[in-house]
Structure 1
Amino acid sequence: MTTRTEPDFTSVDPDLYAAAFQLLDPDPDPAPQPATPAARRTPAAPVQVLLQPAAPPVRLTGPVERTLTDALTFLDTHGWARHSLIHPEGARCSIGALRAAAGARNAAYCDAGNLLLDEARRQHGKKWETIPSWNDSHTGPQVRSVWEAAIRRAHHLNI
């Protein structure tokens, strides 16, 4: 078996590599480099790197947050009601607004309702069994506070 020790490639000027690496990673205290005739004739041009600002990460609104936000917008637009799912003038209670926003009793509707009821229990005590019973026992500002907190939680949880 014969082992060759001679490479089959053409050698490259090592000073060329040193100059290229110096441009890519300048050393604050560079060691003196031997000057080649080419380096003496042509001064190195400064390299400008244009950095584009990073785009902010895109955050998609989750279905629960969207359902809660749409329901609160519905309440703001049509009005809030007590003791009635839908008031004759179009206002709705919290569960009615949630149903209108979800469009169907889907997963987002169920999760939004659970989050809303959980937030109502956090703010107003554990005794509330349903959204309608909680809704009917509180003032408009109290109900709105729960809605806003539930939306913030859904946003934070990215759901």
Structure 2
Amino acid sequence: MNTRTKTDFTPLDPDLYAAAFQLLDPTPQPVTPEAPSAPAPVPSRPAITLPAHQPGPVEKTLSDALAFLDAHGWARHSLIHPEGARCSIGALRAAAGSRNAAYRDAGNLLLDEARRQHGKKWQTIPHWNDSHTGAQVRSVWEAAIHRARHLSI
């Protein structure tokens, strides 16, 4: 085995490192071992508060109409049932208060969502409302509210 013991390294002056460190940090602080202490407190940042969601007029109309259906009941084949339940159009009218832009846009979004879930053949909300179960109608309402929120309308 051929192991070389002589190296071709140039010997360095041991004081060279001390001089270099003195140039980098002219007043070094002595390092003294300290007793372990409690970790320094982390400065707290103020809590980030997200702005409260402000529903747009279409989302509000749809949400209020669904709340109306939940409170008073859902009906088929009648705008207003004698016991107070309403069909989808009746709930929209109750929530909007009048046939304003929010009422019109909410109705269009509701019908569009009904067509997405149940086919393109539905021409009016009452026709679609009367041809489906309460669970199917609710599913469309919830999807329409979700879309209105997503679109910020």
TM (norm. structure 2) is 0.72
Alignment partners' CA distance in 1, 2:24 and 2:85: 81
CA displacement, residues 61-108 of structure 1 (integer Å, 9 cap, x when unaligned):
111111111101111111111111001111100000000000011111
Once the two structures are superposed, the pairs formed by residues 70-81 of structure 1 within 5 Å of their partners are: 70-81=64-75
Q: How many residues align?
A: 122
Paired position in structure 1 for 2:34: none
Secondary structure at the aligned position of 2:148 is classed as helix
Paired position in structure 2 for 1:96: 90
Paired position in structure 1 for 2:62: 68
Unaligned residue ranges in structure 2 (runs of 5+)? 1-22, 28-39
Paired position in structure 2 for 1:134: 128
* Higher alpha-carbon Rg: 2
Alignment partners' CA distance in 2, 1:69 and 1:107: 16
Paired position in structure 1 for 2:100: 106
- Root-mean-square deviation over aligned CA pairs: 2.3
Alignment partners' CA distance in 2, 1:79 and 1:53: 42
Residue type at the aligned position of 2:81? H
Displacement, 1:49?
4.8
Residue type at the aligned position of 1:126? K
Secondary structure at the aligned position of 2:58 is classed as helix
Displacement, 1:32?
4.5
Paired position in structure 2 for 1:146: 140
Residue type at the aligned position of 1:149? A
Q: Aligned in 2, Cα 1:127/1:52: closer, same or farther, shift over 3 Å?
A: same
Alignment partners' CA distance in 2, 1:58 and 1:140: 31
Alignment partners' CA distance in 1, 2:53 and 2:77: 37
Displacement, 1:33?
5.6
Secondary structure at the aligned position of 1:83 is classed as coil
Alignment partners' CA distance in 2, 1:105 and 1:139: 26
Select 2:51's aligned residue among 54, 57, 65. Answer: 57
Paired position in structure 2 for 1:85: 79
Unaligned residue ranges in structure 1 (runs of 5+)? 1-30, 36-45
The structure 1 segments of at least 4 consecutive aligned residues displaced by more than 6 Å after TM superposition are none
Residue type at the aligned position of 1:120? A
Displacement, 1:158?
1.2
